[in-house]
């Protein structure tokens, strides 16, 4: 996948993109990232990319011309027709289904805003959709863009060390993930659930499914409200809620 990022702060994008899962995806060639700076398309010698808003009010607004030129440059460099996504608190809330949909693209252009926002005409002329990572305010769109790229990169073939990791993570099945444990067996008096030490793989899978259901019910009940539970899942959840709460820190 090729991703072009329109940003006034290329160093933010490049710094995050060199480590962890993203770094592996870049090194393996499954992901390519290019950054396009609107300042390179400013029309004056000062590199101006913002101005006061029409109608008055606080802050500054990003100018349309440098942004449109940067988006156009990015689209011209894309190896295939690119979908243009603007990271904005006004966009549709990003979820795993949205990540999977965008991961199906071969080329993306991500537009990151700064200041009070960007000229509305950029959205009308050059943006295909707006995406939000949550209902809160950040200083710019670079971090949301990297959140989206990180989430997409995990779905690219060969990015994760274990291909099963992407299949069992939170939200892929609409549930939160089950609890994880590793050595030692006892930490500060808290023991690993015996089923995980039993060697019974069927019992382990059943326990993990039950824990995922219970954790979702306790922490994110709205996720369960959106889905129809199978008879098996409903029975697992009912049994789990009626039984003792072994995971004492799951509050």
- The pTM assigned to this predicted structure is 0.85
> Is residue 20's pLDDT more than 90?
no
> Is residue 173's pLDDT more than 90?
no
Q: What pLDDT shows up at residue 248?
A: 47
> Is residue 246's pLDDT more than 80?
no
Q: For 223-230, which contacts have Cβ atoms below 8 Å and span 24 or more sequence positions? A: 223/174, 223/175, 223/176, 226/174, 227/174
**Cα separation, 222 vs 218, whole angstroms:** 10
Strands (E), 151-241: 186-187, 190-191
């Amino acid at each position: 996948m090729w991703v072009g990022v329109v940003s006034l702060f290329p160093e933010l994008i490049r710094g995050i993109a060199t480590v962890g899962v993203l770094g592996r995806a870049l090194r393996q060639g499954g992901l390519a990232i290019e950054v396009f700076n609107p300042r390179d398309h400013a029309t004056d010698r000062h590199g101006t990319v913002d101005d006061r808003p029409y109608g008055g009010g606080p802050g500054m607004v990003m100018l349309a011309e440098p942004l449109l030129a940067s988006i156009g440059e990015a689209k011209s460099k894309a190896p295939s027709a690119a979908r243009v996504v603007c990271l904005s608190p006004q966009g549709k809330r990003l979820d795993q289904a949205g990540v999977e949909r965008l991961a199906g693209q071969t080329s993306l252009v991500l537009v990151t805003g700064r200041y009070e926002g960007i000229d509305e005409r950029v959205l009308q002329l050059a943006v295909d959709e707006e995406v939000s990572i949550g209902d809160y305010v950040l200083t710019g769109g670079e971090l949301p863009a990297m959140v989206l790229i990180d989430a997409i990169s995990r779905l690219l073939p060969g990015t994760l060390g274990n291909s099963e990791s992407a299949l069992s993570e939170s939200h892929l099945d609409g549930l939160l993930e089950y609890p994880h444990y590793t050595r030692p067996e006892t930490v500060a008096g808290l023991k690993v659930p015996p089923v995980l030490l039993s060697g019974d793989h069927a019992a382990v899978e059943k326990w993990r499914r039950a824990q995922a259901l219970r954790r979702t019910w306790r922490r994110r009940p709205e996720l369960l409200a959106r889905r129809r539970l199978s008879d098996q899942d409903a029975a697992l959840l009912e049994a789990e809620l009626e039984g003792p709460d072994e995971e004492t820190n799951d509050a």
